[in-house]
């Protein structure tokens, strides 16, 4: 698979934009890298917050209904084993 873009399928402006975004000495490249890093940080924070919220909801549910064990085993068992 070829890297980059083809001049047969892209205009000169598109080729220039691509070159600018992949040249480490260009501010478009630096902006793209900074944006990628910021997005990754936000994604990690969002995942951490989401897992904390999920754990808190599960703890509240367990406290309210008295369930202190996971019910995952029911998903993998054969329902006819209990007959």
Provide the b/e sequence for 17-38 (b: ≥16 CB within 10 Å): eeeeeeeeeeeeeeeeeeeeee
Q: Which residues does 26 contact at the CB level (< 8 Å), separation at least 6?
A: 20
Confidence of residue 13 (pLDDT cuts 50, 70, 90): very high
| Digit-coded pLDDT (tens) for 16-49 | 888 888 888 989 889 989 988 888 887 778 888 8
**Structure tokens that stand for 47 in this block:** 């995942």
Q: Which residues does 23 contact at the CB level (< 8 Å), separation at least 6?
A: 29
Domain boundaries, the chain: 12-82
- Mean pLDDT, the chain, rounded, equals 80
Contact assessment for residue 62 and residue 68, using Cβ atoms and an 8 Å cutoff: yes
């Amino acid at each position: 698979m070829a890297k980059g873009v083809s001049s047969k399928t892209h205009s000169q402006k598109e080729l220039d934009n691509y070159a600018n975004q992949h040249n480490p000495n260009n501010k478009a490249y630096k902006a793209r890298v900074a944006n990628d890093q910021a997005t990754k940080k936000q994604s990690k924070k969002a995942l951490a917050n989401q897992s904390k919220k999920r754990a808190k909801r599960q703890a509240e549910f367990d406290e309210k209904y008295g369930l202190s064990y996971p019910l995952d085993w029911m998903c993998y068992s054969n329902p006819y084993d209990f007959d």
